[in-house]
Protein backbone atom coordinates (compact mmCIF):
# COMPACT_ATOMS: atom_id res chain seq x y z
CA UNK A 1 0.00 0.00 0.00
CA UNK A 2 1.24 3.46 -0.74
CA UNK A 3 2.42 5.56 2.14
CA UNK A 4 0.30 8.53 3.23
CA UNK A 5 2.09 11.61 4.61
CA UNK A 6 -0.03 14.12 6.52
CA UNK A 7 0.91 17.73 5.89
CA UNK A 8 -0.47 20.68 7.86
CA UNK A 9 -0.71 23.59 5.43
CA UNK A 10 -0.56 27.06 6.99
CA UNK A 11 -0.71 29.55 4.13
CA UNK A 12 -0.72 32.68 6.29
CA UNK A 13 -0.63 36.21 4.91
CA UNK A 14 0.44 38.23 1.88
CA UNK A 15 2.00 36.07 -0.83
CA UNK A 16 1.89 33.05 1.52
CA UNK A 17 -1.20 31.48 -0.10
CA UNK A 18 0.15 31.96 -3.66
CA UNK A 19 3.53 30.40 -3.07
CA UNK A 20 2.12 27.56 -0.98
CA UNK A 21 -0.40 26.69 -3.69
CA UNK A 22 2.48 26.54 -6.18
CA UNK A 23 4.49 24.23 -3.92
CA UNK A 24 1.50 21.92 -3.39
CA UNK A 25 1.22 21.48 -7.16
CA UNK A 26 4.83 20.33 -7.19
CA UNK A 27 4.13 17.94 -4.32
CA UNK A 28 1.14 16.53 -6.25
CA UNK A 29 3.46 15.74 -9.14
CA UNK A 30 5.97 14.12 -6.78
CA UNK A 31 3.16 11.98 -5.34
CA UNK A 32 2.23 10.80 -8.82
CA UNK A 33 5.80 10.03 -9.90
CA UNK A 34 6.98 8.39 -6.69
CA UNK A 35 3.77 6.59 -5.83
CA UNK A 36 3.22 8.18 -2.44
CA UNK A 37 0.27 10.11 -1.07
CA UNK A 38 0.17 13.51 0.57
CA UNK A 39 -2.83 14.55 2.61
CA UNK A 40 -3.18 18.32 3.09
CA UNK A 41 -5.11 19.94 5.92
CA UNK A 42 -5.26 23.71 6.24
CA UNK A 43 -4.94 25.78 9.38
CA UNK A 44 -4.86 29.50 10.15
CA UNK A 45 -1.77 31.37 11.29
CA UNK A 46 -0.62 35.00 11.48
CA UNK A 47 -2.67 38.04 10.57
CA UNK A 48 -5.49 36.12 8.95
CA UNK A 49 -5.78 34.02 12.12
CA UNK A 50 -5.93 37.22 14.20
CA UNK A 51 -8.73 38.53 11.97
CA UNK A 52 -10.74 35.34 12.17
CA UNK A 53 -10.05 34.15 15.72
CA UNK A 54 -8.23 36.94 17.57
CA UNK A 55 -5.16 34.73 18.01
CA UNK A 56 -2.12 34.49 15.66
CA UNK A 57 -1.77 30.80 16.55
CA UNK A 58 -5.21 29.34 17.32
CA UNK A 59 -5.39 26.19 19.44
CA UNK A 60 -6.91 24.33 16.52
CA UNK A 61 -3.92 25.10 14.28
CA UNK A 62 -1.49 23.87 16.90
CA UNK A 63 -3.49 20.66 17.29
CA UNK A 64 -3.45 20.13 13.52
CA UNK A 65 0.35 20.54 13.48
CA UNK A 66 0.81 18.10 16.36
CA UNK A 67 -1.20 15.50 14.41
CA UNK A 68 0.74 15.94 11.15
CA UNK A 69 3.93 14.45 9.75
CA UNK A 70 5.16 17.87 8.63
CA UNK A 71 4.07 21.50 8.51
CA UNK A 72 4.26 23.72 5.44
CA UNK A 73 4.04 27.43 6.18
CA UNK A 74 3.74 30.36 3.77
CA UNK A 75 4.40 33.67 5.49
CA UNK A 76 2.94 35.80 8.27
CA UNK A 77 2.49 39.52 8.84
CA UNK A 78 1.63 42.71 7.02
CA UNK A 79 1.11 46.43 7.62
CA UNK A 80 -2.45 45.82 8.77
CA UNK A 81 -1.22 44.16 11.97
CA UNK A 82 2.03 46.09 12.55
CA UNK A 83 0.63 48.31 15.27
CA UNK A 84 -0.74 45.58 17.50
CA UNK A 85 1.00 45.01 20.85
CA UNK A 86 4.04 42.64 20.75
CA UNK A 87 2.18 39.59 22.03
CA UNK A 88 -0.69 40.03 19.55
CA UNK A 89 1.46 40.44 16.44
CA UNK A 90 1.40 37.79 13.65
CA UNK A 91 5.14 37.17 14.26
CA UNK A 92 4.27 35.96 17.75
CA UNK A 93 2.37 33.09 16.12
CA UNK A 94 5.64 32.05 14.49
CA UNK A 95 7.65 32.25 17.72
CA UNK A 96 4.99 30.25 19.56
CA UNK A 97 4.74 27.48 17.00
CA UNK A 98 8.55 27.06 16.98
CA UNK A 99 8.52 26.68 20.74
CA UNK A 100 5.40 24.50 20.92
CA UNK A 101 6.81 22.00 18.39
CA UNK A 102 10.31 22.32 19.92
CA UNK A 103 11.85 23.08 16.53
CA UNK A 104 15.30 23.73 17.90
CA UNK A 105 17.31 23.54 14.68
CA UNK A 106 16.61 26.00 11.90
CA UNK A 107 18.26 24.95 8.63
CA UNK A 108 18.80 27.72 6.10
CA UNK A 109 20.67 26.57 3.01
CA UNK A 110 22.15 29.23 0.77
CA UNK A 111 23.08 28.18 -2.71
CA UNK A 112 24.21 30.43 -5.51
CA UNK A 113 22.91 29.17 -8.85
CA UNK A 114 25.31 29.87 -11.70
CA UNK A 115 22.39 31.12 -13.80
CA UNK A 116 21.77 33.90 -11.24
CA UNK A 117 25.38 34.92 -10.55
CA UNK A 118 24.66 38.33 -12.06
CA UNK A 119 22.00 39.08 -9.43
CA UNK A 120 24.37 38.66 -6.48
CA UNK A 121 25.45 41.88 -4.76
CA UNK A 122 28.91 40.27 -4.50
CA UNK A 123 31.37 40.02 -7.38
CA UNK A 124 30.53 36.92 -9.42
CA UNK A 125 33.96 35.40 -8.73
CA UNK A 126 33.39 35.76 -4.97
CA UNK A 127 29.81 34.46 -4.96
CA UNK A 128 30.40 31.60 -7.38
CA UNK A 129 30.15 28.15 -5.89
CA UNK A 130 28.60 29.28 -2.63
CA UNK A 131 26.70 26.37 -1.13
CA UNK A 132 26.35 26.65 2.63
CA UNK A 133 23.87 25.83 5.35
CA UNK A 134 23.22 27.96 8.41
CA UNK A 135 21.99 25.89 11.35
CA UNK A 136 20.44 28.37 13.76
CA UNK A 137 19.31 27.46 17.27
CA UNK A 138 15.65 28.45 17.23
CA UNK A 139 13.86 27.95 20.54
CA UNK A 140 16.18 29.43 23.14
CA UNK A 141 18.80 32.12 23.61
CA UNK A 142 17.95 35.79 23.82
CA UNK A 143 14.64 35.36 21.99
CA UNK A 144 13.12 33.47 24.89
CA UNK A 145 15.38 34.05 27.92
CA UNK A 146 14.02 35.37 31.22
CA UNK A 147 14.03 37.91 32.77
CA UNK A 148 12.88 40.14 29.97
CA UNK A 149 10.82 43.27 29.52
CA UNK A 150 10.74 47.01 29.94
CA UNK A 151 10.72 48.08 33.57
CA UNK A 152 11.54 50.97 35.84
CA UNK A 153 14.81 51.29 37.76
CA UNK A 154 15.89 54.40 39.70
CA UNK A 155 13.08 56.35 38.06
CA UNK A 156 14.28 55.46 34.54
CA UNK A 157 12.84 53.09 31.96
CA UNK A 158 15.14 50.16 31.31
CA UNK A 159 14.82 47.30 28.86
CA UNK A 160 16.40 43.89 29.08
CA UNK A 161 16.53 40.42 27.57
CA UNK A 162 18.51 37.44 28.70
CA UNK A 163 20.83 35.35 26.57
CA UNK A 164 20.92 31.97 28.20
CA UNK A 165 21.88 28.53 26.93
CA UNK A 166 22.08 25.34 28.93
CA UNK A 167 24.44 22.60 27.83
CA UNK A 168 21.71 20.28 26.56
CA UNK A 169 20.32 23.02 24.32
CA UNK A 170 23.76 23.58 22.80
CA UNK A 171 24.53 19.89 22.48
CA UNK A 172 21.38 18.94 20.57
CA UNK A 173 21.70 21.66 17.94
CA UNK A 174 25.43 21.01 17.62
CA UNK A 175 24.74 17.32 17.00
CA UNK A 176 22.22 18.17 14.27
CA UNK A 177 24.80 20.45 12.66
CA UNK A 178 27.53 17.79 12.81
CA UNK A 179 25.14 15.22 11.30
CA UNK A 180 24.31 17.58 8.45
CA UNK A 181 27.97 18.43 7.87
CA UNK A 182 28.74 14.73 7.74
CA UNK A 183 26.36 14.36 4.79
CA UNK A 184 27.84 17.38 3.03
CA UNK A 185 31.46 18.53 2.79
CA UNK A 186 32.30 17.65 6.41
CA UNK A 187 33.18 21.13 7.55
CA UNK A 188 31.50 22.89 10.47
CA UNK A 189 31.97 26.49 11.59
CA UNK A 190 30.62 27.34 15.03
CA UNK A 191 29.92 31.03 15.55
CA UNK A 192 29.88 32.73 18.95
CA UNK A 193 31.16 35.72 20.88
CA UNK A 194 33.25 33.73 23.33
CA UNK A 195 35.77 36.58 23.77
CA UNK A 196 33.09 38.60 25.58
CA UNK A 197 30.03 36.55 26.51
CA UNK A 198 29.96 33.82 29.16
CA UNK A 199 27.08 32.13 27.41
CA UNK A 200 29.29 31.91 24.31
CA UNK A 201 32.21 30.48 26.27
CA UNK A 202 29.93 27.65 27.33
CA UNK A 203 28.66 27.31 23.75
CA UNK A 204 32.23 26.81 22.51
CA UNK A 205 33.11 24.37 25.28
CA UNK A 206 30.08 22.18 24.59
CA UNK A 207 30.56 22.26 20.80
CA UNK A 208 34.14 21.07 21.36
CA UNK A 209 32.89 18.22 23.53
CA UNK A 210 30.34 17.11 20.93
CA UNK A 211 33.03 17.34 18.23
CA UNK A 212 34.69 14.26 19.77
CA UNK A 213 31.72 12.20 18.49
CA UNK A 214 32.41 13.43 14.96
CA UNK A 215 36.16 13.09 14.31
CA UNK A 216 35.49 12.97 10.57
CA UNK A 217 34.07 16.51 10.57
CA UNK A 218 36.48 19.44 10.58
CA UNK A 219 35.46 22.05 13.16
CA UNK A 220 36.42 25.71 13.34
CA UNK A 221 35.22 28.51 15.64
CA UNK A 222 34.66 32.09 14.55
CA UNK A 223 33.58 35.14 16.52
CA UNK A 224 30.35 36.51 15.14
CA UNK A 225 31.79 39.84 13.99
CA UNK A 226 34.54 38.07 12.08
CA UNK A 227 32.03 35.55 10.69
CA UNK A 228 29.92 38.41 9.33
CA UNK A 229 32.98 39.67 7.49
CA UNK A 230 34.21 36.31 6.20
CA UNK A 231 30.73 35.53 4.87
CA UNK A 232 30.99 38.28 2.27
CA UNK A 233 34.73 37.82 1.65
CA UNK A 234 34.82 34.08 1.09
CA UNK A 235 31.28 32.67 1.16
CA UNK A 236 32.14 29.66 -0.97
CA UNK A 237 34.55 28.31 1.68
CA UNK A 238 31.76 27.69 4.21
CA UNK A 239 29.91 24.40 4.45
CA UNK A 240 27.79 24.24 7.63
CA UNK A 241 27.57 27.11 10.13
CA UNK A 242 26.06 26.47 13.57
CA UNK A 243 25.15 29.31 15.89
CA UNK A 244 22.70 30.64 18.46
CA UNK A 245 19.32 32.21 17.86
CA UNK A 246 20.10 35.86 17.34
CA UNK A 247 23.48 35.44 15.62
CA UNK A 248 21.78 32.96 13.29
CA UNK A 249 18.94 35.37 12.60
CA UNK A 250 21.39 38.04 11.49
CA UNK A 251 23.93 35.86 9.68
CA UNK A 252 21.26 33.96 7.77
CA UNK A 253 19.90 37.21 6.37
CA UNK A 254 23.40 38.28 5.44
CA UNK A 255 24.14 34.95 3.78
CA UNK A 256 20.69 34.95 2.23
CA UNK A 257 21.31 38.00 0.16
CA UNK A 258 24.31 36.43 -1.59
CA UNK A 259 22.27 34.48 -4.20
CA UNK A 260 20.57 37.69 -5.30
CA UNK A 261 16.99 37.27 -4.15
CA UNK A 262 15.33 36.23 -0.92
CA UNK A 263 12.78 34.63 -3.24
CA UNK A 264 15.11 31.67 -3.67
CA UNK A 265 15.71 30.65 -0.07
CA UNK A 266 14.03 27.70 1.63
CA UNK A 267 14.20 26.72 5.28
CA UNK A 268 13.43 23.85 7.58
CA UNK A 269 12.89 24.02 11.32
CA UNK A 270 13.46 20.67 12.91
CA UNK A 271 13.11 19.14 16.34
CA UNK A 272 13.21 15.52 17.49
CA UNK A 273 9.57 14.89 16.60
CA UNK A 274 8.21 17.71 14.44
CA UNK A 275 9.35 19.75 11.49
CA UNK A 276 8.18 22.90 9.78
CA UNK A 277 9.14 24.12 6.33
CA UNK A 278 8.84 27.70 5.11
CA UNK A 279 10.36 30.11 2.63
CA UNK A 280 12.74 32.60 4.26
CA UNK A 281 11.11 35.58 2.55
CA UNK A 282 8.26 37.28 4.33
CA UNK A 283 4.70 37.98 3.27
CA UNK A 284 5.70 40.71 0.73
CA UNK A 285 2.41 42.61 1.08
CA UNK A 286 3.40 44.99 -1.74
CA UNK A 287 3.03 42.27 -4.38
CA UNK A 288 0.43 40.04 -2.69
CA UNK A 289 -2.49 38.90 -4.82
CA UNK A 290 -0.85 39.79 -8.12
CA UNK A 291 0.31 36.29 -9.00
CA UNK A 292 3.90 37.42 -9.61
CA UNK A 293 5.65 36.13 -6.48
CA UNK A 294 8.63 33.81 -6.86
CA UNK A 295 7.48 30.32 -5.77
CA UNK A 296 11.02 28.84 -5.79
CA UNK A 297 11.77 29.35 -2.08
CA UNK A 298 8.62 27.44 -1.12
CA UNK A 299 9.18 24.76 -3.75
CA UNK A 300 12.72 24.25 -2.41
CA UNK A 301 11.22 24.15 1.10
CA UNK A 302 9.05 21.19 0.11
CA UNK A 303 12.17 19.59 -1.34
CA UNK A 304 13.66 19.87 2.16
CA UNK A 305 10.46 18.34 3.55
CA UNK A 306 10.77 15.39 1.18
CA UNK A 307 14.35 14.84 2.37
CA UNK A 308 14.24 15.55 6.09
CA UNK A 309 10.69 14.47 7.05
CA UNK A 310 9.82 11.77 4.53
CA UNK A 311 13.26 10.38 3.62
CA UNK A 312 12.40 10.74 -0.06
CA UNK A 313 15.93 11.85 -0.95
CA UNK A 314 15.60 11.06 -4.63
CA UNK A 315 12.41 13.09 -4.95
CA UNK A 316 14.03 15.98 -3.10
CA UNK A 317 17.04 15.89 -5.38
CA UNK A 318 14.79 15.82 -8.42
CA UNK A 319 12.81 18.88 -7.31
CA UNK A 320 16.07 20.77 -6.77
CA UNK A 321 17.33 19.73 -10.19
CA UNK A 322 14.05 20.78 -11.80
CA UNK A 323 14.37 24.24 -10.25
CA UNK A 324 17.94 24.61 -11.43
CA UNK A 325 17.04 23.40 -14.91
CA UNK A 326 14.18 25.91 -15.14
CA UNK A 327 16.57 28.73 -14.21
CA UNK A 328 19.09 27.46 -16.77
CA UNK A 329 16.34 27.64 -19.41
CA UNK A 330 16.09 31.35 -18.65
CA UNK A 331 12.76 31.55 -16.86
CA UNK A 332 12.62 34.28 -14.20
CA UNK A 333 10.00 35.79 -11.94
CA UNK A 334 10.09 39.58 -11.58
CA UNK A 335 12.40 39.57 -8.52
CA UNK A 336 15.21 37.79 -10.40
CA UNK A 337 14.49 39.08 -13.90
CA UNK A 338 17.29 40.60 -15.95
CA UNK A 339 17.52 41.57 -19.58
CA UNK A 340 17.70 38.66 -21.99
CA UNK A 341 15.77 36.28 -19.73
CA UNK A 342 12.12 35.24 -19.94
CA UNK A 343 9.80 36.88 -17.43
CA UNK A 344 7.12 34.58 -16.03
CA UNK A 345 4.53 34.79 -13.26
CA UNK A 346 4.07 32.44 -10.32
CA UNK A 347 1.88 29.99 -12.20
CA UNK A 348 4.10 29.83 -15.29
CA UNK A 349 7.23 29.32 -13.20
CA UNK A 350 5.49 26.50 -11.34
CA UNK A 351 4.35 24.84 -14.57
CA UNK A 352 7.87 25.01 -16.03
CA UNK A 353 9.32 23.44 -12.89
CA UNK A 354 6.74 20.65 -13.00
CA UNK A 355 7.44 20.03 -16.70
CA UNK A 356 11.14 19.74 -15.94
CA UNK A 357 10.42 17.49 -12.99
CA UNK A 358 8.55 15.05 -15.21
CA UNK A 359 11.17 15.10 -17.91
CA UNK A 360 14.11 14.70 -15.53
CA UNK A 361 12.31 11.86 -13.80
CA UNK A 362 12.07 9.98 -17.09
CA UNK A 363 15.63 10.83 -18.15
CA UNK A 364 17.33 9.98 -14.90
CA UNK A 365 15.39 6.70 -14.63
CA UNK A 366 15.52 6.31 -10.86
**Residues forming the active site:** 143, 193, 225, 249, 253
Percentage helix, strand, coil for the chain under 3-state DSSP, each rounded to 5: 50, 20, 30
How many of the chain's residues bind Mn ion (CB under 5 A)?
1
| ∠ Cα 229 230 231 (to 5°) | 90
Is residue 288 within 8 Å of 294, Cβ to Cβ? no
The residue (of 260 and 282) whose beta carbon lies closer to ligand IPM is 282
Nearest residue to 111 via CA among 267, 227, 288, 6: 267
User: Could you give the CA distance from residue 55 to residue 9 in angstroms, rounded to a whole number?
Assistant: 17
Burial of 13 (0-12, 13-18, 19+ CB in 10 A): buried
Closest separation between CB of residue 350 and ligand IPM, Å? 24
Residue 29 φ then ψ, to 5°: -65, -40
Question: Least distance from C-beta 251 to Mn ion, angstroms?
Answer: 10
Binding mask 89-108 for Mn ion (x = CB under 5 A): --------------------
Identity of the residue, 249 or 324, whose beta carbon is nearer to Mn ion in the bound complex = 249
Q: Find the shortest distance in angstroms from Cβ 95 to ligand IPM.
A: 6
10 vs 219, which CB is nearer to ligand IPM? Answer: 10
Report if residue 137 touches ligand IPM, rule: CB under 6 A: no
Q: d(Cα 10, Cα 74) in Å, to the nearest integer? A: 6
In the list Mn ion, ligand IPM, none, the entry touching 94 (Cβ below 5 to 8 angstroms by class) is ligand IPM
CB of residue 265 to Mn ion, shortest distance in Å: 11
For residue 80, the minimal CB distance to ligand IPM (Å) is: 16
- Could you give the angle at the alpha carbon of 316 between the alpha carbons of 330 and 314, nearest 5°? 115
For ligand IPM, which is the closer residue by CB, 89 or 352? 89
User: Which of 137, 249, 320, 324 touches ligand IPM (CB under 6 A)?
Assistant: 249
How far is 225 from 220, CA to CA, in rounded Å? Answer: 15
The site map against ligand IPM for 73-102 (x = CB under 6 A) is ------------------x--xx-------
Does residue 249 belong to the site contacting Mn ion (CB under 5 A)? yes
- Closest chain position to Mn ion (CB): 249
Nearest position to ligand IPM, beta carbon: 91
For residues 296 and 264, is the Cβ–Cβ distance under 8 A?
Answer: yes
Whether the Cβ atoms of residue 280 and residue 109 lie closer than 8 Å to each other: no
Distance, in Å, from the CA atom of 238 to the CA atom of 254, rounded to the nearest integer, reads 14
Q: How far is the CB of 266 from ligand IPM (least distance, A)?
A: 12
- 254 part of the interface to ligand IPM, by CB under 6 A: no
C-alpha 13/C-alpha 75 separation (Å) is 6
Where on the phi/psi map is residue 260: left (φ > 0), alpha (ψ -120 to 50), or beta?
A: left
Q: Which is nearer to ligand IPM, 94 or 103 (CB)?
A: 94
The count of chain residues that interact with ligand IPM, using the rule CB under 6 A, is 4
218 binds, among Mn ion, ligand IPM, none (CB under 5 to 8 A by kind): none
**Residues 321, 360: contact at Cβ < 8 Å?**
yes
Identify which of residues 95 and 228 has a Cβ nearer to ligand IPM in the complex.
95
The SS3 call for residue 82 is coil
Task: Kindly list the residues in this chain that would bind Mn ion in the complex (CB under 5 A).
Answer: 249
Task: Kindly list the residues in this chain that would bind ligand IPM in the complex (CB under 6 A).
Answer: 91, 94-95, 249
Amino acid sequence: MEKVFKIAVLKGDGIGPEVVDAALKVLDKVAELFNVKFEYKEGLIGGIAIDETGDPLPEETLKLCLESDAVLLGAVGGPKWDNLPQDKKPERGLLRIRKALNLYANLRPVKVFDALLGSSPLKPEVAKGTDLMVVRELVSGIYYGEPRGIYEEDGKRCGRNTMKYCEDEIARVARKAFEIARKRRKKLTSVDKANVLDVSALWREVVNEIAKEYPDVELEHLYVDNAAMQLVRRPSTFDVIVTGNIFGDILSDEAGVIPGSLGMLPSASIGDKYALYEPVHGSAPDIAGQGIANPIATILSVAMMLKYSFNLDKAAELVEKAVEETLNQGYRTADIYSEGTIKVNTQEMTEKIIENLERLYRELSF
